[in-house]
Chains A and B, each alone.
Chain A
Amino acid sequence: MKVSEEGQGIGASLLPILEKLPFLSRCAKTRGWHYVIGWLHRLTGIWLVIAMTAHIYNLSPAPTAKMKIPALPIFAFFAWASSLAAGFHALNGGRLILYELFGNRNDAAMVRWTFGLSVAYAAMVGFLMIAKNQSASALFFWLTAFFAGVVTAYAVASRVWKTRHSAPWMLQRISGAFLLIAVPAYLLFLYLNPGVADHARAAVARMQDNVFTGIVFLALAAASLYHAGYGLFSVMADYVASRRARAGLTALILAFIAVLVFFTFRILSI
């Protein structure tokens, strides 16, 4: 039996800092680094659902100003941490798509890129948040980002469409492929507005300036809500065995997503 495998492959190539964290390295010994990354993907996914909920709630018109999430430094940190989670979740999702659908089996290098680029991306967002003096044309920015997202989604769709997979699973992969470009782009866009780095509302208003960016916003919201809903369902379906409990929790997830859809439409109607 081979027991010295911890020194090879992924264990040897992962960021050394992770190996120093006792809990993570214990998990890696018993189930492997990919297992740890699998859990990180799940946890960042749940984090992003919470962040998206807070974001949608904060953007939509509230009955009183008091009900808004205040602009405290801790929330700025939460927003920055969300960019780290989004970068990791997107890049790791891309790695999984390459592994599962495009036959890329040697993904140790991909794991290194996932961690490295996530940190670089979060650093860039952090810089934009602090600098607050950037400007980008909404139309030009979204023409590029939307086109890249659609092409990525199309590449995945053409790969899975003729397979036997269930439609919800395929849509999860396709929406994921679109979001892997669109969400990091969206977070960047929020901070690419001169002097309004803390005002997501102003950035979203800019997206509704013309029909094209309005459609982009709608596509982004639809893909995010679907991806979040199916992601939650998928985690639940792994662990809840009772049929009745599964049905109840599925209904709860649907209701939760429906509430978010409602709030999203309220943003659009501002």
Chain B
Amino acid sequence: MSKSYSLTLTIRRFDPDASRRWFQTYTLSTGPILRFVDLFRRINVEQDATLAWTSSCEHAQCGSCSVKVNGRPMLACELLVENAVNLFGTTKFRIEPVTVAPVVRDLVVDWEKAYERVHRAKPYLIEPKELPPGMTEHRISPGKIARYEEATRCINCFCCAEACLSSCRNFIGPNAAMAGIVRMMDIRETQKEERLDLLYSEEGIYRCHTSKACSHVCPKEIDVAHFIALAKEGAF
């Protein structure tokens, strides 16, 4: 017989119409393999239809369900009840919205505001190199790709930015910094100056202090701090 847990979820609520913030506690009995998004859905159906939260793909690919669970930024769509209990050693969880963007309602934040940082880092090739004559594509050796392939798994969930020691008030953020760094490692990119200007500015890598919280919380297991350290090393 599978285990069952009696959970207490204390969720930070925000009602923008009344400008009211408060914590609300819900108790649920669940099995071990329900995800936190499933818990939120059950709260909506069984206890409180007004609790607002976000998700989209629910397969850890869109990053829209990031929340703080007992202070740790995580994806609610891939956090299983059993794993959460093992990780925190408790069945009591405090759930809060991330702080990297303004809260719209309850656990919903304005992701577009958070994305502004990533847009500034231009997560695309600004000026791609011309194709070699007679070629229809660029050939990149597996060895070169291996140096940065890991970073291309980033889904911009902003868990790293939320966890960052530097607080991300004045820092463009680990994921945005990495987005720029990865494009500089791409041999097809010719426009590096603009990226370097942002990286070596007061809102760039000088706000990173190698606390590696970004790498620790990344749900895609990307060693974000390693990529930022490449820029500190002057690798570009």
Is B24 close to A, CB under 8 A? no
Is A78 close to B, CB under 8 A? no
Residues of B within 8 A of A37 (CB): 211
With A and B bound together, what is the CA distance between A145 and B31 in angstroms? 63
With A and B bound together, what is the CA distance between A34 and B229 in angstroms? 14
Q: Is the pair A237, B75 in contact by a Cβ cutoff of 8 Å?
A: no
With A and B bound together, what is the CA distance between A234 and B70 in angstroms? 28
Is A144 close to B, CB under 8 A? no
Q: Is the pair B213, A34 in contact by a Cβ cutoff of 8 Å?
A: yes
Residues of B within 8 A of A3 (CB): 79, 83-84, 86-87
Q: Which of A237-269 contact B (CB under 8 A)?
A: 237-241
Check A237/B167 contact, CB under 8 A, given A100-B210, A101-B232: no
Q: Which of B152-198 contact A (CB under 8 A)?
A: 163, 165-167, 169-171, 196
Residues of A within 8 A of B207 (CB): 237-238
Q: Is the pair B88, A238 in contact by a Cβ cutoff of 8 Å?
A: no
With A and B bound together, what is the CA distance between A99 and B207 in angstroms? 16
Shortest C-beta distance, B147 to chain A (Å), equals: 13
Is B26 close to A, CB under 8 A? no
Shortest C-beta distance, B39 to chain A (Å), equals: 16
Is B216 close to A, CB under 8 A? yes
Q: Is the pair B200, A103 in contact by a Cβ cutoff of 8 Å?
A: no
Q: Is the pair A32, B216 in contact by a Cβ cutoff of 8 Å?
A: yes
Residues of A within 8 A of B60 (CB): 1
Count of chain B residues with a beta carbon within 8 Å of a chain A beta carbon: 41
Shortest C-beta distance, A38 to chain B (Å), equals: 3
With A and B bound together, what is the CA distance between A103 and B231 in angstroms? 11
Is A199 close to B, CB under 8 A? no
Is A6 close to B, CB under 8 A? yes
Majority SS of interface residues in chain A?
helix
Check A38/B72 contact, CB under 8 A, given A3-B87, A100-B229, A239-B169: no
Q: Is the pair B211, A237 in contact by a Cβ cutoff of 8 Å?
A: no
With A and B bound together, what is the CA distance between A65 and B127 in angstroms? 69
Beta-carbon nearest neighbor of A105 in chain B: B226
Shortest C-beta distance, A174 to chain B (Å), equals: 14
Q: Residue B217 contacts which of A4, A32, A103, A239 (CB distance < 8 angstroms)? A: A32
Q: Is the pair B165, A32 in contact by a Cβ cutoff of 8 Å?
A: no
Shortest C-beta distance, A32 to chain B (Å), equals: 3
Q: Is the pair B211, A169 in contact by a Cβ cutoff of 8 Å?
A: no
With A and B bound together, what is the CA distance between A32 and B213 in angstroms? 6
Q: Is the pair B213, A31 in contact by a Cβ cutoff of 8 Å?
A: yes
11 A-B pairs with C-beta separation under 8 A: A1-B79, A3-B86, A29-B72, A31-B217, A32-B213, A32-B215, A34-B211, A35-B216, A38-B213, A99-B210, A160-B234
- Pairs A-B, 9 closest by C-beta atoms: A38-B211, A32-B216, A163-B234, A34-B212, A30-B72, A31-B213, A35-B213, A30-B71, A3-B83
A interface residues with partner B (beta carbon < 8 Å): 1-6, 26, 29-32, 34-35, 37-39, 41-42, 96, 99-103, 105, 160, 162-166, 169, 234, 237-241
B interface residues with partner A (beta carbon < 8 Å): 60, 70-72, 75, 78-79, 83-84, 86-88, 163, 165-167, 169-171, 196, 200, 202, 206-207, 209-213, 215-217, 219, 221, 223, 225-226, 229, 232-234
